[in-house]
C-alpha cells in the first residue's frame, strides 16, 4: 500500500483556486520532494495531507486514513506521523531535553530521547533553554520533535532554511538514517541541491497543478537533454551543444593531441530544469 494516495485534489480560497486537481502517489519508504514557488499550492497541498486544512474535492488517503476525519481515529493516525512545520517557536522557557521528553509522552512508541537529541546534534545543548538556541539549533529541535514519535511518515516543510552548509550536510545524513529505518518522507524545499541529494522522486507544482513527476536525474528530460561542451582554442572560447559529450571530448583529444585547454562539460542542473518549468521566475 502507498503511504500517500491523492486523486483529483482541489482547494479554493474564495475565488482563488489554490489547488486544481492534483494526483499523487508516494510509496511506503520513499523520500519525495515537492518543489514549487511560493503561492504554487505547495503548502496548501501539504497542509491538507497533514490534516490542518479541509479540501474542496478529491480523495486523500495518508497511511490509509482520510486526514479530514477527526476524533480518536485521528489520534491513532497522528501517532503514526511526524510533522515539522515551516516556522515554529516557543516561549522558550523550557530546556531542549524537557521539551523533547514532554513530546515523547504523547506517543505510544516514542524513540529514546537521548538518541533523538544525538541524531539532530544537540547533545551539547540538551540542558539549554530554548530561547538561548540559535536559529539553526531551534530548527534541529523542530526536527527532533517531528521524529520523537517514531513516525512511519514524516512531513518536512523547508527543514533546512537558515542552516549553514555544515548543518545542512549533517541534516542530510539524518534523513539518510531515517530512510534506512524505512520512514516515508514528504519534503518541501527551496533548495534544489537538497531535493537532488535526498529525494527518490520529485514533483514540481505550480499554479495548483503538478507539472512533472520523476526522479531528480530524469526530471524534465534532464538525462537526455543536450550538454554544453566548451574549451579554449587559441584566443577563443568555443562551445558545442551535444547529445553525446563523450564523442566531442574524444574528437577534441585527438585534435589537441592530449589535454583539452579549459575543458568544461555542463549538463543542465536540476535548478535549470526547474526554472524553465515554472517559467524561469526566481521567487
Partner 1 sequence: MNKIPSALSLGLRRGGLEIRQFARQRESVIFTLLFPVILLIIFGSVFKDTIAPGVVFSQYFLAGMVASGLVNTGFQALAITIPLERDFGALKRLRGTPMPASSYFIGKAILIIVSMSLQIIMLLAVGILFFKVEMPTDPHKWFTFAWLVLLGSACSTALGIAFSIVPKSGRGASAVVSPVVIVLQFFSGVFFIFTQLPSWMQQVAAIFPLKWLTQGMRSVFLPDSFGRQEVAKSWENNRTFAILVIWLIIGVFFSVRKFKWDRD
The residue ranges that bind partner 1 (CB under 8 A) are: 50-52, 75-76, 78-79, 81, 83, 85, 87-91, 93-94, 98, 102-103, 105-109, 145, 149
Residue 7 or 95: the one with the smaller Cβ distance to partner 1 is 95
Shortest Cβ 18–partner 1 spacing (Å): 12
The Cα 244–Cα 148 span in angstroms is: 48
C-alpha cell recorded at residue 169:
550536510
Instruction: Give yes or no for a contact between 116 and 150, defined as CB atoms under 8 angstroms apart.
Output: no
- Which is closer to partner 1, CB of 127 or CB of 234? 127
Nearer to partner 1, 21 or 39 (CB): 39
Strand partners, 228: 241, 266
- Residue 165 CB, shortest distance to partner 1, in Å, is 26
Give the whole-angstrom CA distance, residue 224 versus residue 241. Answer: 12
Residue 137, CB half-sphere, CA atoms under 13 Å: how many? 18
Please state the closest distance from residue 195 (CB atom) to partner 1, in A.
23
CB of 65 to partner 1, least distance (A): 13
Q: Name the DSSP class of 207.
A: T
In whole angstroms, what is the distance from residue 183 CA to residue 189 CA?
18
Query: Least Å distance between CB 106 and partner 1?
Result: 5
183 vs 220: CA distance, rounded Å: 27
Let me know the angle formed at the C-alpha of 188 by 185 and 193, rounded to the nearest 5 degrees. Answer: 95
Between 38 and 109, CB nearer to partner 1? 109
Compute the distance between CA of residue 138 and CA of residue 153 in angstroms, rounded to an integer: 22
Cα separation, 64 vs 77, in Å, equals 9
In angstroms, give the least distance from the CB of 61 to partner 1: 18
- Start-to-end CA span in the chain (Å): 36
Q: Which is nearer to partner 1, 151 or 208 (CB)?
A: 151
Give me the least distance between CB of 50 and partner 1, in Å please.
Answer: 6
**DSSP 8-state assignment for residue 107:** S
**C-beta of 149 vs 203, nearer to partner 1:** 149
User: In the complex with partner 1, which residue's Cβ is closer, 37 or 110?
Assistant: 110
User: Cα–Cα distance between 41 and 205 in angstroms, integer?
Assistant: 7
Q: Rounded to the nearest 5 degrees, what angle is found at the Cα of 201, between the Cα atoms of 199 and 203?
A: 110
Amino acid at each position: 500500500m502507498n503511504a500517500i494516495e491523492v486523486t483529483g485534489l482541489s482547494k479554493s480560497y474564495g475565488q482563488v483556486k489554490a489547488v486544481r486537481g492534483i494526483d499523487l502517489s508516494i510509496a511506503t519508504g520513499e523520500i519525495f520532494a515537492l518543489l514549487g514557488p511560493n503561492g504554487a499550492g505547495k503548502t496548501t497541498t501539504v497542509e491538507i495531507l497533514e490534516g490542518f486544512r479541509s479540501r474542496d474535492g478529491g480523495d486523500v488517503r495518508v497511511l490509509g486514513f482520510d486526514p479530514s476525519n477527526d476524533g480518536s481515529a485521528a489520534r491513532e493516525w497522528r501517532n503514526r506521523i511526524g510533522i515539522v512545520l515551516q516556522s515554529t517557536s516557543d516561549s522558550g522557557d523550557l530546556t531542549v531535553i524537557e521539551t523533547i521528553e514532554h513530546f515523547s509522552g504523547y506517543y505510544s512508541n516514542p524513540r529514546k530521547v537521548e538518541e533523538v537529541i544525538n541524531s539532530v546534534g544537540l547533545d551539547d545543548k540538551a540542558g539549554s533553554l530554548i530561547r538561548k538556541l540559535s536559529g539553526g539549533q531551534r530548527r534541529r529541535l523542530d526536527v527532533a520533535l517531528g521524529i520523537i514519535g517514531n513516525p512511519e511518515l514524516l512531513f518536512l516543510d523547508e527543514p533546512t532554511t537558515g542552516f549553514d552548509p555544515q548543518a545542512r550536510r549533517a541534516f542530510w545524513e539524518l534523513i539518510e538514517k531515517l530512510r534506512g529505518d524505512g520512514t516515508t518522507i514528504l519534503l518541501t524545499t527551496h533548495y534544489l541541491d537538497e531535493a537532488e541529494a535526498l529525494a527518490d522522486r520529485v514533483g514540481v507544482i505550480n499554479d495548483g497543478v503538478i507539472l512533472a513527476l520523476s526522479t531528480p536525474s530524469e526530471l524534465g528530460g534532464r538525462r537526455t537533454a543536450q550538454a554544453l561542451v566548451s574549451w579554449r582554442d587559441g584566443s577563443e572560447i568555443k562551445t558545442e551543444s551535444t547529445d553525446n559529450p563523450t564523442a566531442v571530448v574524444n574528437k577534441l583529444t585527438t585534435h589537441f593531441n592530449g589535454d583539452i585547454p579549459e575543458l568544461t562539460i555542463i549538463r543542465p542542473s536540476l535548478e535549470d530544469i526547474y526554472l524553465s518549468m515554472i517559467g524561469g521566475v526566481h521567487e
